[in-house]
A and B are shown apart, each in its own frame.
Chain A
Amino acid sequence: MKIKSPTSMVPGIYLTLFFAYLFGPLIIMVITAFNSSNFPRVSPWECFTTDWFGKLVADDKLIEGLGNSLLIGFGVVVVAIPIGLAAAIMLSQVGPKLRASLYTIFIAPILVPGVVIGLSTLIFWDRVGTFFDAPYESFFYDGTFLTIFGQVTFIAAYSMLVFLSRIQRFDNTLTEAALDMGATPTQAFVKVLLPFMAPAIGSATVLAFLASLENYNTTVFTIVSSSTFTTVLSSKVRYGLDPSISAVAVIIISITLIGAIIYECRNRYHSKGWGMIIAERPVLKYATHPGSVAAILGLLAIGAVLFIQNYDSSACTAQILEDKRALQQKLMEQQQLETPKQSSPAPTTPTLGPLGNDATSTAPSSPFGGNAGSIFSPENLSGSSNATPAAPSTAPSSGGGGIFAPENLTGNGSD
């Protein structure tokens, strides 16, 4: 065996780093979806749990946002694809000078920041609505409608780019041939150009749908009082994360993976080399048929769903909770021992929940969701006079904790 020289290993190392960089966050995210910890994280590992999926399904706001997102995505595809196709066909038929300037105009929405598109869409339709004296229930003020139109402005340009690269390879004499053989211009379009463009239409549809689904900076303005998947997620990030977001990621990654695997299987199945291999092996032929691959993956997915529904991690989480209570109890006893009895009235129950509401159900420990979460939660702010930080070293007295509380401020003033 030959020992590889260091230079020959560089591509390998590079690739490893590259893939780690690409997939590392995804892998971490997937793992966090199954940790019972209240904040999405890998360590400390608490319990293997599938509860976050249940929580996700029970999250009405997220489900509603997802529904809106899918509806908007569908609307965007329906509007943007014909516009993009028309633009590409037009560009392919005009003269070079006009094409250059038209191209710049068509492509401009991609270069304009999404925020600007979002704001201008909102303002424009508001003006139009005002002009027509439309009531606030009319579509001029409807978040779904505005978002579709706002997103279409730049997604149509994306899809135009996809169509353009395909249409450049189209042989225009094919259309002429169709016309010459008696086809009407419509027939020539439907029977010759459209089938040729079909693959591009497929990829543009997927692209447009995904671009719509993941769009945030335009949508956040145009969605008005409604919500989409991305706006719900972003508000979740702002007001406190929990691993149900990781659960969303797991679902999206799984769907993508299943789709990609089936697509790849289909391609391989129809490739020439594989066709020759399976010609004499009927078993292999059926086993590798994309349909059967899809069926296997579908069964696996159903199995995963059933497992998630039925897996019960309550025993483990209860155990963890118990451990934490015990630990906290110990810490508090320690604190009581170290601090003079008269200096501060020690609390009898720990109120430091990571997420305010869940405070009683699980033990505190998260650096972000824990202390930080409670600092910003309004209840804690108002009740800060009688709340004591958990770590004894940082909280020598109640006076320090209450400095910023409004009551204390007024109290100082009256002195």
Chain B
Amino acid sequence: MFESEIVIGLEVHAELDTNTKLFCSCPREGNDKRNSRVCPICLGHPGSKPVMNKKVLDYGLRFGLAIGCNIAKSLVFSRKSYFYPDMAKNYQITQFEIPLCSNGIIKLSSGKKIKINRAHIEEDPAALTHPAGINDSAYVLVDYNRSGNPLIEIVTEPDMTSPNEARDFMKELIKILNYLEIFDTDSCIIKADANISIRESGYKRVEVKNITGFKEIERALMYEVERQKQAVSEGAEILMETRSWDAAKGITCSLRLKESEEDYGYITDPDLVPIDVSDELIETIKKNMPELHHAKLDKYKKNISEEDAKVISSNHKLAAIYDEVCEEIDPVFAGRWIRRELMRVMNYNKIEFEDLKIKPSHLIDLFKLIIEGSITDSVGQKIMEKLVEEPFDVNEYVNSNSLKTISDNSELKKICKQVINENPQAAEELKAGNTKSLNFMVGQVMRITKGKADAKKLVEIFKSIF
């Protein structure tokens, strides 16, 4: 059945960026005092009843439509029964028989298509702390602030063939979720369970749980592949089991033997009623859907190089900045400066987009000054460097530091003559027509003027002197 050496399928749980929880009006984030963003519903108090958050349906539909899924005609919830200390009701309200979305595709940057079996909506359990580690705690501590948060569960087919590919998938998925504005990396959790098997063991499936974020997924799966390969080479049997990823120790540990599916005894939740997913609703969602990165890429390619377009469209915060800047600045100029200068400075200072404090307005002010010639490119680059560290009012800064371009010919001529006098050797070579010397002389003037001299004019002035 399988051809590749490694077979990986993922089950991803992403928290949706709503104001309130899935079935109650408790705020989804905010007050982080333990057990204070709770109510009888998310605490599972006897007699409390769930009421569905409309926004979650909208977000679920956005995702399904964005990845080309079939959409169910009706949103129906089931009770999945199991007992665990993080469960408010000892059943989870989730979707069983008919998920909201099914049969979609997510394309990796390599072009490979990963099939999405289903995406459905469910509630998050509470947050558990094991004071002495999961295996050694006599009791657990539970905080129900998280209980009832809205999750979208995305299940792939076992289409990935390496830990690397799994990581790429997660990156791509997070990108889509960000672009659709249904997920906020700052405030929403994303976790994955992976099913992984290797050819050497006859594709005995092991589940690895508790992997948070796309960076961990490659680590966890690389470890697991090695562990399984090693076990096989030692003649040990690979048990079909559930293991937990311990990020701190960098290992997976056995949780329980996966003999058979736990009997969840699903029933349709009789406290909830079906929600129609009408064609009108789908049309409305489609119309109001934020642009995905593919669409942005196509749009940008019209003005800037494909490579630059790819870079800018690949990060939705950056794309958002670019889009807003392009409302007032020529896209070609903006593209060059954002792709080359802004990102150069960010990379140099190892600043991530999540931590970037620059606003589009800062860039618009800066670019306007450069375009109209009020400051030189060189000054502009220096200002960019400072902006990335800590944003400030660009116009004020330029004025109070006298950074405007020096374009007065007589003044420039004075400085050029000064440089010629200080560098007789180079001046001779320049007279002889050496372009390197010209650049050198221009560079000296720039050094003296702290980059404020109009470079084009300098070239002319030097040429005219000789």
Partners in one complex: no
